[in-house]
Chains A and B, each alone.
Chain A
Amino acid sequence: MRYDVVVVGAGIAGPIVARNVAKAGYSVLMIDKKWAIGTPKQCAEGISIKVFEKYDIPYDKRFINREVYGAKLYSPSGYELELRYKEVSGVILERKVFDKMLAYYAAKAGADVLARTEALDVIRKDGKVVGIKAKHEDEPIEIYADVIVAADGVESTIARKAGINTYAPPHEFDSSYEYEMLIEGFDPDLIHLWFGNEIAPRGYVWVFPKDEDRANVGIGINADNPKTAKYYLDKWLKENKIPAKKLLEINVGLVPVGGFVKELVKDNVLVVGDAARQVNPMHGGGMAEAMEAGTIASKWIVKALEEENLSLLQNYTKEWWETDGKRLEKVLKVRKVTEKLTDEDLDLFIQVLSGADTEKIASGDYTEVIKALLKHPKVLLSPRRIKLLKELL
C-alpha cells in the first residue's frame, strides 16, 4: 500500500498529525499496535483547559470526567499550599475515549486508521527510508510513504530504526505506577500532589479526581532508582492509612522528563511526542506537548508536500527548538534544581509560600515567588538555599 504520509502510533501526537495532514488533502495511514486505540491507558489524565481551543479539539463530555479548579501541594511534614482558581483550570480526561476520539477525528478528516497493526521496522531502498514494515494481526504488510512520522510513544523504536538518536539516560525518565481507585477525603475540585525524598524520590505522589470518590492515585520516581514505583506508592498508601481495596485499574509506564531529541527529522522521517522526549520535565505531563509538536510537525509536512520539497521538513526541528523546546529547556533547569532540595527545604518553601501571595503563584509569576523566598530569614542564613534559588532566576 502507498500513502503520502504514514503515522506510527495513535496516542496523542499521532492523531493530531494525521488529522491535520488529512485535512490538507493528503493521503495518510495511521497505525497502532493496540487492538483498541486508547486502551490500556498509561496516564493520570490531567490536562489544561486551554488545549481544546488551541488545538481545535471538541469539548466533548464523553471524554471529560471532571473539571478541576487548581492544585494542592503537600510538603514532607504536611505543610500545604493551595492554588485555587475561580475558573476551571484543567480537566481529568478519560483517555481510553479521548485517544479513540482523536483517531476518529483523524479518520473523519480523511485519514485511514488501522488498529492492531504493529510497525516492525523501516523499509529502506538505496539507503533511504521509503516506508514501514508492519504486521496487521498476523498478516505482514508493507506501507510505502513519502513521509514517515514516528509517534510511537516512550518506546521510540521506529525513529531509532530510521537512524534518529532518541536515546536518553535512565535518569531522564520517571518510572510510574498508578491505581484508578476509590478514595475519600480529598477535595475533588483540585488535583493533589505530595513531595518528599522518602515519599517519591525526584517525583511526587498524585491524586487526580475523576469523581467525588474516584481518582487516579499514582506516583513517579526517577527511573534509575533501585526501588520500584510500585513499592513507593504502596508504602505511601499504607503510611497514610488509605485503603487500597477498591482498585478499578492498574496503570504502568515510563515518562521521559528530559533528554529532548536534538534532531527531530532525518530526511523524510519525523519524530514527535514521547518518542521525541517532548514532555514537561517538571510534572511529567506530555499530552499538551505532544499536541504542540504534532501541530508544528504537520504544518511542515503539509508545506513540504505542497512544494514537493522534503528538505522543508527540517523546519520542524528548527521551529520546535525555537518555541516549545526553548520553554522546556527552562523547565528542565528547574527540575534539576528542585531535585537537589532536601525534605527540610521542601517544608520551608511550601510553608513560606502558603503564607505568601498565592494569587501571584497561581498566575505563574515564579520570579516574584522566588524573590519572596529569598527574603525569608531561614533562606538568608543558608548559602546553599540562596544558591539553589538563584539558579532559578
Chain B
Amino acid sequence: MPEKIKIVVNEDRCYLCGGCAGVCPTLAIEVHSSGWEFIQDKCISCRICISACPVGALSEEPLEVKA
C-alpha cells in the first residue's frame, strides 16, 4: 500500500489564503476565517498542497497506522 501521510500546518506562517484548499483535488482542506482544517479521510497523499503554498506553511508527517 502506498504510504499515507498527514498534512500539518505551521499556523505562524499560514495566511489563511485558501490556496491549498483550491488546489486540493479532494476537498481535504478547508480554510475558515477562524482557522485551517485538514480532513484526513479525504486526503489522497498527493502532496499538491505542500508545493503550492506560497509561504511553505504545509508539511507532511507519516500517518501512524493503528495496529
Contacts and interface: CB of A to CB of B under 8 A. Distances in A.
Interface in B12-31: 15, 17-23, 25, 27, 30-31
A118 interface: yes
Contacts of A251: 15
B22 A156 contact: yes
B53 to A, nearest CB: 7
19 contacts: A34-B33, A40-B15, A170-B48, A170-B52, A175-B53, A177-B54, A224-B48, A224-B52, A226-B51, A228-B55, A229-B55, A251-B15, A252-B54, A253-B18, A253-B19, A253-B54, A254-B17, A254-B52, A256-B22
Q: Which of A33, A154, A155, A176 has the most CB of B within 10 A?
A: A155
Given A177-B54, A224-B52, A230-B56, A118 B23 contact: no
Interface string A249-275: 011111010000000000000000000
Interface string B2-45: 00000000000001011111110101001111000000000000
A42 interface: yes
B21 A230 contact: no
A161 interface: yes
Q: How large is the interface on A (under 10, 10 to 19, 20 to 34, 35 or more residues)?
A: 35 or more
A122 to B, nearest CB: 13
User: Chain A at the B interface: mostly helix, strand, loop or mixed?
Assistant: mixed
Given A157-B27, A252-B15, A254-B52, 11 more contacts: A118-B33, A167-B25, A173-B19, A173-B22, A173-B23, A175-B19, A175-B54, A177-B55, A223-B19, A229-B54, A230-B56
A367 interface: no
Contact of B31 (A155, A226, A231): A155
Contacts, number: 80
B54 A225 contact: no
Contacts of A175: 19, 52-54
A224 B51 contact: yes
Nearest to B19: A254
Contacts of A118: 32-33
Interface of A: 33-35, 40, 42, 116, 118, 153-157, 160-161, 167-168, 170, 173, 175-177, 223-226, 228-231, 250-254, 256
B51 A170 contact: yes
A254 B48 contact: no
B15 A250 contact: yes
State the 8 A-B residue pairs at the shortest beta-carbon distance, nearest first.
Answer: A254-B19, A154-B22, A229-B54, A252-B15, A223-B52, A155-B18, A252-B17, A155-B21
Contacts of B52: 170, 173, 175, 223-224, 254
A254 B33 CA distance: 17
B51 A225 contact: yes
Contact of B54 (A170, A224, A254): A254
B22 A252 contact: no
A228 B23 contact: no
Nearest to A255: B19
Given A34-B33, A155-B31, A253-B17, A230 B25 contact: no
B15 to A, nearest CB: 4
